[in-house]
C-alpha cells in the first residue's frame, strides 16, 4: 500500500511540476511543426510515464536493476511500443480536429493520421525492435478507422486510450504488479496528456494544416 501511495503522490506532483513545460507558444501551423511536436511529446510521455514508475516500483533495488543489461534491453523495447502508441494517439486526435472541416470524413482522417505517424517513424534510428513493428503501428490506424464504434466516439479522452493500453501491456514488471498498479499507470499517462492536448487545441491552425495537406495529396 505504501508503494501505491508513493506512486500516486509522484504522479500528482509531476503533473503540476511539468505543466509549465507546455505553456510556451508552439506554432502548429504547418505539417513539419506538427510532426516535430508529435515526435517530441511522444518521446516525453513515453519516458516520463515508464521510467519513474519502474524506479519507484523497484525501490532501493533500482540502481542494481538499471545495471542489468537484459533488463535495460527490455526497458528500451517497452519504451518503443509505448512511444508508437503515443504517436498514434496524437495523430488520431490531430486528424480528428482537422477533419471537422471535412465533416469528419473517414478517408481524410485516416490518411492524415497515417501521414503524421509515418513521418515521425521515418526519423527513428534504433536497433531494439524490428522496423516492421512501426509499420504494424500504422496498420493499427487502419483498424481504428474501420471500427465505427471507436471512430464515432468523440469524447476527448478516448483518443488517448491506446497509449494507456500499451503502457500497461509493455511495462517490464510482473503480471501481478501490472494488475495491482493498472489504475495508477493509466492515470499517470492520462494526466500527462492533459497539457499536451490543450496545447494542440490552442495552437493547431486547422485551416493551414488542411490546405497544406490537400496540396500534399495532389503531388
Please classify residue 37 by burial: count the beta carbons closer than 10 Å to its beta carbon, then call 0-12 exposed, 13-18 middle and 19+ buried: buried
Q: For residue range 147-184, what is the model confidence (pLDDT) as tens digits?
A: 866 656 666 667 899 999 999 999 999 999 999 999 99
For every residue of 29-54, DSSP letters joined together read -SHHHHHHHHHHHHHHHHHHHHHHHH
pLDDT digits (tens, 9 = 90+) for 128-151: 999 999 999 999 999 999 886 665
Q: How far apart are CA 56 and CA 41, in angstroms?
A: 23
- Is a pLDDT exceeding 80 seen at residue 12? no
The answer to whether residue 111 scores a pLDDT higher than 50 is yes
Containing structural domain, residue 83? 2-6+28-218
User: Is residue 9's pLDDT more than 80?
Assistant: no
- Is position 104 within any domain? yes
Name the nearest CA neighbour of 213 among 86, 130, 84, 91: 91
Share of the chain above pLDDT 90, in %: 67
60: in domain: yes
Tens of pLDDT, residue by residue over 68-78, are 899 999 999 99
Is residue 18 included in any domain, yes or no? Answer: no
Helix axes 69-98, 106-122, angle to 10 degrees: 150
User: What is the per-residue pLDDT for 26?
Assistant: 60
Provide the mean pLDDT of the chain: 86
Residue-wise pLDDT for 177-216, tens only, equals 999 999 999 999 999 999 999 999 999 999 999 999 988 8
Asked if residue 39 belongs to a domain, the reply is: yes
Q: Is the pLDDT of residue 17 over 80?
A: no
Q: CA-CA distance, 103 to 83, in Å (whole number)? A: 30
Q: Per the domain annotation, does 22 fall within a domain?
A: no
Q: Report the pLDDT value the prediction gives residue 154, as an integer from 0 to 100.
A: 60
Question: How far is the C-alpha of 97 from the C-alpha of 66, rounded, in Å?
Answer: 40
Taking residues 48-70, report their average pLDDT: 88
In whole angstroms, what separates CA 41 from the centre of its chain? 7
Instruction: Establish if 145 belongs to a structural domain.
Output: yes
The pLDDT of residue 22 is above 50: no
Answer yes or no: are the C-beta atoms of 42 and 166 closer than 8 Å.
Answer: no
Residue 125 lies inside a defined structural domain of this protein: yes
Residue 194 lies in a domain: yes
Mean pLDDT of the region 95-120: 91
**What does the pLDDT read at residue 157?**
65
Domain count, the chain: 1
Q: Would you state the pLDDT for residue 7?
A: 47
Amino acid at each position: 500500500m505504501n508503494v501505491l501511495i508513493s506512486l500516486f503522490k509522484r504522479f500528482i506532483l509531476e503533473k503540476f511540476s511539468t505543466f509549465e513545460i507546455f505553456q510556451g507558444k508552439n506554432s502548429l501551423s504547418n505539417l513539419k511543426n506538427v510532426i516535430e511536436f508529435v515526435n517530441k511529446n511522444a518521446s516525453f510521455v513515453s519516458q516520463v510515464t515508464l521510467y519513474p514508475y519502474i524506479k519507484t516500483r523497484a525501490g532501493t533495488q533500482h540502481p542494481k536493476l538499471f545495471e542489468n543489461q537484459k533488463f535495460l534491453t527490455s526497458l528500451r523495447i517497452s519504451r518503443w511500443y509505448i512511444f508508437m502508441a503515443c504517436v498514434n494517439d496524437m495523430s488520431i486526435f490531430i486528424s480528428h480536429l482537422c477533419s471537422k472541416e471535412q465533416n469528419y470524413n473517414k478517408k481524410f482522417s485516416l490518411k492524415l493520421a497515417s501521414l503524421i505517424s509515418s513521418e515521425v517513424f521515418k526519423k527513428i534510428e534504433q536497433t531494439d525492435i524490428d522496423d516492421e513493428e512501426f509499420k504494424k503501428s500504422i496498420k493499427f490506424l487502419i483498424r481504428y478507422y474501420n471500427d465505427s464504434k471507436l471512430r464515432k466516439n468523440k469524447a476527448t479522452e478516448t483518443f488517448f486510450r491506446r497509449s494507456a493500453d500499451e503502457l500497461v501491456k509493455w511495462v517490464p514488471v510482473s503480471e501481478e504488479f501490472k494488475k495491482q498498479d493498472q489504475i495508477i499507470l493509466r492515470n499517470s499517462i492520462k494526466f500527462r496528456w492533459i497539457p499536451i492536448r490543450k496545447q494542440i487545441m490552442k495552437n493547431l491552425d486547422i485551416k493551414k494544416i488542411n490546405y497544406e495537406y490537400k496540396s500534399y495529396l495532389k503531388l
